[in-house]
Chains A and B, each alone.
Chain A
Amino acid sequence: MNFTLHIWRQKNSNIQGEFVTYQIDNIDENTSFLEMLDQLNEQLIAQDQDCIVFDYDCREGICGACSLVINGYPHGDKKATTTCQLYMRDYKNQTELWIEPWRAKAFPVIKDLTVDRSSFDSIIQSGGYVSVHTGSAPEANALLIDKHSADEAFNSATCIGCGACVAVCPNASATLFVAAKITHLSLLPQGKIEEQDRAQKMFNQMESEGFGSCSNHRYCERVCPKGISVSNITKMNQVLGWT
């Protein structure tokens, strides 16, 4: 398979970036999207050029490192999938692909397709935890949790922190990310005690990091690779006392 790739190249956050066009040929249909970029980078090394930088690690859809906007869609237009789980057989031969980084004020571009998502870490640091000391936990089965709540908490907890929700949002809001963590911990009795304080702190942190507000576009749940629902936002609003 052959592709024409328009890839965002940007030296660093202070320099304006631009699309650069590359041609890549003879790609096996079972090659993953990131392996296709690996091959392009091998070509660039052969031509003495600096490689295209992009984030990746596990390449099995769980670490949340990979982060590309492909033809306008974060993680491509395949549903509930991370970029690393895309395969070239999902695309038509001879197509043009536009590949960009996440774009949001709170995710400044570091270089090429790589952005700085440490603002997500700061949000978790502001309160996204249960305050329990190591060694002070009670016997695990002393705390019974109904299966439904445990399952729902799990659904919220599967967020991989990739930032696709921010990248797709016209407001570059991190509300789904924040709401998923608040919901995960609020649904469990061990997280209930601190819930209001936690929710307020995380929300404030989100705003001070430069993320926008939610205006119910709901694009976030459509691109979330883990299918996290906007009902988490409803739950967050309840915890914050907004509904």
Chain B
Amino acid sequence: MNIFCANEPTGPLESRWEKHLFSLSLISPQNRKKHKVIVVGTGLAGASLCATLGEAGYQVSSFCFQDSPRRAHSIAAQGGINATKNYQNDGDSVWRLFYDTIKGGDFRARESNVYRLAELSGNIIDQAVAQGVPFAREYSGYLANRSFGGTQVSRTFYARGQTGQQLLLGAYQAHSRQLANDNVTHQSRSEMLELIMVDNKARGIIVRDLVSGEISAHTADCVVLCTGGYSNAFYLSTNAKGCNTSATWRAYKQGAYFANPSFTQIHPTCIPPTGENQSKLTLMSESLRNDGRIWAPKNSEDCDKNPADIKEEDRDYFLERMYPAFANLAPRDIASRAVKHICDKGHGVGSKIHGKRLGVYLDFSAIIEKLGLEAVAEKYGNLFDMYQSITGEDPYQTPMKIYPAPHYTMGGLWVDYDLMTTVEGLFAGGEANFSDHGANRLGASALMQGLADGYFVLPKTVANYLAKSSLTDVDDTHPQVVQSLQLVKDRIHQLMHAPSPKYSPEYYHQKLGKILWEACGMSREAEQLKQAIGEIAELEAHFWQNIKVTGVDKDLNQTLERAGRVADFIELGKLMCQDALMREESCGAHARVEYLSESGEAKRDDHDFSFVGAWEFKPEQPMLHKEQLNYEFIEPTVRNYK
């Protein structure tokens, strides 16, 4: 375990980014065409980066696995995007957003990066408005704001419940404009399956054309991964079905460190699973907790009753009971753990899955009685409709059922202040990197980070890398390229021809999800984690022996796509458990039961664990490196929500 540093600038926090910008090298406009950059993924970070690098004059090649860049999962973000405009004159500032983000992350993020994020947040809103993103407005014509995720200021900009969609379409359109100008080329339905390394530098990727099954090499001066998070390791999550870790995992296997893999966020208000064949979970906006009361039956024999038949005195409003001060508004991690605890003890409601009922009630009857049906419909109408269309139940008449679900991953590829990984020439942006959210992400901050990385940070730091590097030409005949191609072909062959093909990718994915959800989900415990590591190792061996992929590889074959992604999730799942086991403290979303206070709050250990855990791939056992987090400007405090 050695200690490494993140190339942060020094001096006053407020001037670090500006100072750093001046120290970065530039490339003159006429020379930019000579440099080629590969961008993988076209969500907020990827699309905004392609647009910006393209208009600056670089040659950019982008890739996405979806059928159009507009479908990246950023599109599903509902709530909003934070920015320090202080339009509401409620005392917001760059410093306050910086502090809220660091504190929300339970003091496990890097000060310089988070400050820069807060600093850039306002520019994002300017950029998006100029592109025609239709944010909510007041009658006066000014932009509207709301408060979000328990902050005390109203700094969230939103476009109804579709903020992610509108911001992504803005970035997609900017990207499209460059495609029309021929600065950027793009391939949809293309999946990155390997990173090409030449002289210890990232120099390209191997891509599978998902339609023809052809494998091809693409070389460049550097590679940027904006490939999102890995919540789908849990099988059931709020992520789109295609979200996967394969690009970041290939990078890890080629030497990029993976940071804090166990920092995964579980969102408390999702629609519960209803059957064993469910394919994904849907998020219901957290704003519902402002007016809904959460309860479960006190007596487990009431669990299958109609909730209307359960008497008031037989209802356990457990968040109000356990956290009287914050009650139903307790933070995401705390509320999620309480719900799981209640269901594990046999007080859950809804359909039985694997012998357990996974759901609690979110009840609006009190607020409907108080404000009337119309006022509640005005406030939550679209959410109630969405709930009804998914579940077939009317939340105006009967309480909603909710259960927590994996939603976002704070962990990801380790990056320095320039968002470069430990592999030279390999950068990571958006949810794919670990950089800004520490051990827990605040609401409305994911969109902000993706766009800050793509529009404002990476275009500068990538240019600096290109300016400073002297790179030899690499073409498709280079031995490293040939070797990488072969590696991918061999792997596909292995997936297509397991020794005794028997089980589908779904089978393994569900098994992995169950292990991770139990051992590395909302609460973690040493013995269980150790057991899970063993189980995953067995699952991995079983997978390569028995994976069954029908059809052929030179074709559009979704079974083959899934098999490859599940294989990577299995390996990542093991690392998630190892990271959770290593971190003998609780912080943010990482709750080790051995390190929780009696009321369920995280007991952080700043003395021994104030570091980023960055894992280096080794064939036998991964090796841990620690980036010490030195708080120069703020004092870590205890997050207390009692």
Cβ-neighbour of A140 out of B66, B71, B129, B177 (below 8 A):
B129
A40 to chain B, nearest CB (A): 11
The distance from the CB of B293 to the nearest CB of chain A, in whole angstroms, is 25
B459 adjacent to chain A (CB < 8 Å): yes
Most chain B Cβ neighbours within 10 Å, of A60, A110, A125, A150: A60
Closest to B173 in A: A129
Is A64 in contact with chain B by the CB < 8 A criterion? yes
Closest beta carbon of chain B to A92's beta carbon, Å:
15
Q: How far is the CB of A129 from chain B (nearest CB, A)?
A: 4
What CA separation (Å) do A1 and B395 show in the bound complex?
A: 25
Confirm or deny: A222 has a beta carbon within 8 angstroms of a beta carbon on chain B: no
CA distance A185 to B131 in the complex (A): 9
Q: How far does the Cβ of B15 sit from chain A's closest Cβ, in whole Å?
A: 19
Contacting pair A87 B69 (CB below 8 A): no
User: Which residues 154-209 of B have a CB within 8 angstroms of A?
Assistant: 159-160, 162, 165-166, 169, 172-174, 176-177, 179-180, 188
- Contacts A144-B142, A145-B137 known; list 15 others, CB within 8 Å: A45-B504, A57-B242, A62-B76, A63-B75, A85-B390, A114-B556, A116-B67, A121-B179, A129-B173, A134-B48, A135-B455, A138-B126, A146-B141, A161-B70, A190-B130
- Judge whether A131 and B177 touch: CB under 8 Å: yes
Q: With a CB–CB cut-off of 8 A, which chain A residues contact B169? A: 157
The reply on B466 being an interface residue by CB < 8 A is: no
- Whether A30 contacts B274 in the complex (CB less than 8 A), given A125-B176, A146-B141, A190-B132, comes out as yes
CA distance A55 to B551 in the complex (A): 17
> Is A134 in contact with B459, judged by CB distance below 8 angstroms?
yes
Q: Which of B134, B211, B283, B456 has the most CB of A within 10 A?
A: B134
Q: Which residue of A lies closest to B551 (CB)?
A: A50
Of residues 38 through 82 on chain A, the ones whose CB sits less than 8 Å from some CB of chain B are 38-39, 41-42, 44-46, 48-51, 53, 55-60, 62-65, 81
A153 CB-CB contact with B under 8 Å: yes
A157 with B134, Cβ < 8 A, contacts A65-B66, A117-B68 known: yes
The answer to the question of B52 belonging to the interface, with a C-beta cut-off of 8 Å to chain A, is yes
> Do A58 and B75 have beta carbons less than 8 Å apart?
yes
| Cα–Cα distance between A32 and B188 once the two chains are bound (Å) | 27
Q: Is A230 an interface residue, CB under 8 A from the partner?
A: no
Q: Which range contains the number of B residues in contact with the other chain?
A: 35 or more
Residue A31, interface by CB 8 Å = yes
Q: Is A154 an interface residue (CB 8 A)?
A: yes
Chain B, residues 430-471, CB within 8 Å of chain A (1/0): the string is 000000000000000000000000011001000000000000
Interface presence of A128 (CB below 8 A): yes
Who on chain A is nearest to B177 by CB? A129
- Chain A, residues 142-181, CB within 8 Å of chain B (1/0): the string is 0111110011011001101100000000000000000000
- B511 interface residue per 8 A CB criterion: no
Which secondary structure dominates where chain A touches chain B? loop
Of B67, B87, B130, B135, the residue contacting A150 (CB under 8 A) is B135
The smallest beta-carbon distance between B258 and chain A, in angstroms, is 25
> Which of B85, B134, B172, B389 is within 8 Å of A154, CB to CB?
B134
Could you tell me the distance between the alpha carbons of A120 and B173 in the complex, rounded to whole angstroms?
12
> Chain B nearest CB: distance from A147 CB in Å?
5
Whether A218 sits at the interface, judged by CB under 8 Å, is: no
Contact A121/B68 with A39-B277, A85-B390, A134-B55 known, Cβ cut-off 8 Å: yes
Task: Let me know if A137 and B126 touch, CB within 8 A.
Answer: yes
Nearest Cβ in chain B — how far from A156, in angstroms? 9
- Would you call B174 and A129 a contact (CB within 8 A)? yes
Asked if B486 is at the interface (CB within 8 A of a chain A CB), the reply is no
Judge whether B389 and A85 touch: CB under 8 Å: yes
Whether, in the assembled complex, B596 has its beta carbon less than 8 Å from a beta carbon of chain A, the answer is no
Contact of B85 among A48, A126, A133, A140 (CB under 8 A): A140
Contact sample, A vs B, 7 pairs, CB 8 Å cutoff: A45-B504, A51-B557, A64-B71, A87-B392, A128-B176, A137-B129, A161-B70
Q: Which residues of A contact B69 (CB under 8 A)?
A: 121
A85 / chain B contacts, CB cutoff of 8 Å: 389-390
Q: Does A130 lie within 8 Å of B173, measured CB to CB?
A: yes
A146 to B506, CA, bound (A): 50
Q: Are B180 and A126 in contact (CB under 8 A)?
A: yes
| Nearest CB on B from A1, distance (A) | 12
Task: Report if A45-B389 is in contact (Cβ < 8 Å); known contacts: A57-B66, A57-B73.
Answer: no
Q: Does A103 contact B (CB under 8 A)?
A: no
- Report the separation of the CA atoms of residues A141 and B129 in the bound assembly, to the nearest whole angstrom: 9
> Which of B85, B132, B174, B179 has a CB less than 8 Å from the CB of A191?
B132
